[in-house]
Amino acid sequence: ESPSIIVHPDYKVAKINDNIYGGFTEHMGRCIYGGIYDPGNPLSDENGFRKDVIEAMKDLNVPVVRYPGGNFVATYHWLDGVGPVENRPKRPELAWLGLEPNTFGTDEFMKWCEVVGTEPYLCLNFGTGTLDEALGWLEYCNSTQDTYYANLRRKNGREEPYNVKYWALGNECWGPWQVEQMTKEDYAKKAYQWAKALKLLDPSIMLILCGETGYSSWDYYVLKECVTWSVHGLGGDRTKSLIDMHSIHVYTADKEHLANATAPRGAERAIQMASALIDLARIENGVPETVPRQTICFDEWNVWDPVRAPGELGAEEKYTLSDALAVAVFLNGFIRQAKDMGMANIAQSVNVISPLMTTKDGIIKQTIWWPLLLFSKYMRGHSVAVNVRAPEYTGRTNPAWIRAAMETPYLDASASISDDGIVSLAVANLSEEKDFEVALQGVTKGEVTVYTVGGENVDVVNTSDEEKVGIKESSWGGEGKFTFGKHSFTLLRWKA
């Protein structure tokens, strides 16, 4: 059978939440210091923010950025990072074994978000932090009252509240690397109590529960315990859930190209499994459908192998074309599962496991930058139905269980329609050997704009000297077969 792709622009599957194009900046390696914040560098503005990074973030149109960790947050005391810089304490940092100068903190991050035009998403310290501290941080950020922390914010130069909407109840609290690692029982108990108190202080916020992969006994247990009625207010509010989203993290990588590029199919399966666990918790706890879907917050995802990655922390990944195809498969999965996806945050936004690298003299856009840019620019609006008939990759997958749960065709596709009726079809051809001539149905004849991300072979990388992988733009008449070149990513756009 010859390959074919049928796009159904009239069959909308779900609204795509813009927040799936979110970022993540952690106090880790060169992400904050030397990444987004580089005072004294001629490339920085009066706030010490790198202007080239700001421009890149604006190009990517990043709607929301998670901060300040990650593992870092488990010993972070936000009060260390506010007020006059000369009074801020330096602290030993236990996640990455560095020294935290605290010269960049809450007000600097909020300012940076304003300049970039993005929304902040803060993660609470579930390690050494207390509920009092967490409440203080929420008050500092969001309160308009005449109270201590709101007044401290005013004293530090910010009259208006920041209105931070997204708050995470800890990060990877299940991990053995975590300061104050918890059992699922202990976590659920604490998360429930913190959630209640935080929503008493500010019922408008959205709370994100700390999940694991999405399909573990941790996920199952904490969802069951915490997805319950919102109890703030006398008698509780039976129209709202206490928890608004469930966080999952998946990093993929493999030395062999096809195992590497198909690995994110496992991440897509994780979304489906987490979605089922959320439904189960809702059903068991009688939390009805008034709670909106899009309850998965995939707040760390990317290709990452700390053993292969250079840099002190094994975090300064040098991404190949194979990794760029893997990133396209991740993003196709997010579009296909749009009905469940409330947010996703690539980990991370600058220097650390990131599409964007800084040097003292400028920035490097790595291979994975390009599919991410095309998705963020064009795959917005609604996801639409798409059928793919393509040869199947039948070799080893990573993890091995993907084979049992998902197909892994050489052509991996998703499609969307924008609010102004432009259809976008995203197709990754994972084959190292074969171009595929594909019968495309559902395409309007006339002008089709074609963006292609490819390179000489799957191992090519971008450096400050040479950008081997970028975007090539061309056009196609929309008739006959379309050829998807081997090891490439293609995005086609036409008017419905």
The active-site residue, picked from 108, 212, 268, 300, is 300
In 3D, which of 411, 84, 415 has the Cα closest to residue 265? 411
Tokens of 227: 């997805």
| Residue 300 annotated in active site | yes
Please state the separation of Cα 160 from the chain's center in Å: 28
Using CB under 6 A as the binding rule, whether residue 214 contacts ligand AHR is answered as no
Q: How far apart are CA 435 and CA 298, in angstroms?
A: 32
**Contact between 267 and ligand AHR (CB under 6 A)?**
no
What mask, x for binding ligand AHR by CB under 6 A, covers residues 60 to 99?
---------xxx----------------------------
Work out how close the CB of 70 gets to ligand AHR at its nearest, in angstroms, rounded to a whole number: 3
Q: Does 345 bind ligand AHR (CB under 6 A)?
A: no
Contact 247, 208 (CB under 8 A): yes
Note the residue count of the chain.
Answer: 496
- Residue list 281-320, contact with ligand AHR (CB under 6 A): 300
Cα(121)–Cα(347) distance, integer angstroms: 14
Relative to beta strand 237-241, strand 229-230 is antiparallel
Which tokens sit at 255?
Answer: 């030395």
Question: By CB under 6 A, is residue 212 in contact with ligand AHR?
Answer: no
Among residues 187, 69, 49, 206, the alpha carbon closest in space to that of 142 is found at 206
Of 105 and 455, CB closest to ligand AHR:
105
In this complex, which beta carbon is closest to ligand AHR, that of residue 26 or of residue 139?
26
The active-site residue out of 26, 119, 139, 172 is: 172
Name the one residue in this structure whose structure tokens are 């005013």.
Answer: 154
Q: Which is nearer to ligand AHR, 302 or 462 (CB)?
A: 302
Pairing label, strands 119-123, 64-67: parallel
Q: Is 28 exposed, middle or buried (0-12, 13-18, 19+ CB in 10 A)?
A: buried
Least distance in Å: CB of 57 to ligand AHR?
A: 17
Active site (annotated) includes residue 312: no
Q: Does the N-terminal peptide bond of residue 348 adopt cis geometry, omega within 30 degrees of 0?
A: yes
Please report, as residue ranges, which positions from 352 to 411 form the binding site for ligand AHR (by CB under 6 A).
353
Q: What is the contact mask toward ligand AHR in residues 7 to 26, using x (rule: CB under 6 A)? A: -------------------x
Window 161-190: contact mask with ligand AHR (x via CB under 6 A)? ----------xx------------------
DSSP state of 96: T
Number of chain positions touching ligand AHR (CB under 6 A): 11
Select from 82, 135, 347, 374 the one that contacts ligand AHR (CB under 6 A). 347
Footprint of ligand AHR on this chain (CB under 6 A)?
A: 26, 28, 69-71, 171-172, 300, 347-348, 353
Residues with catalytic function: 172, 300
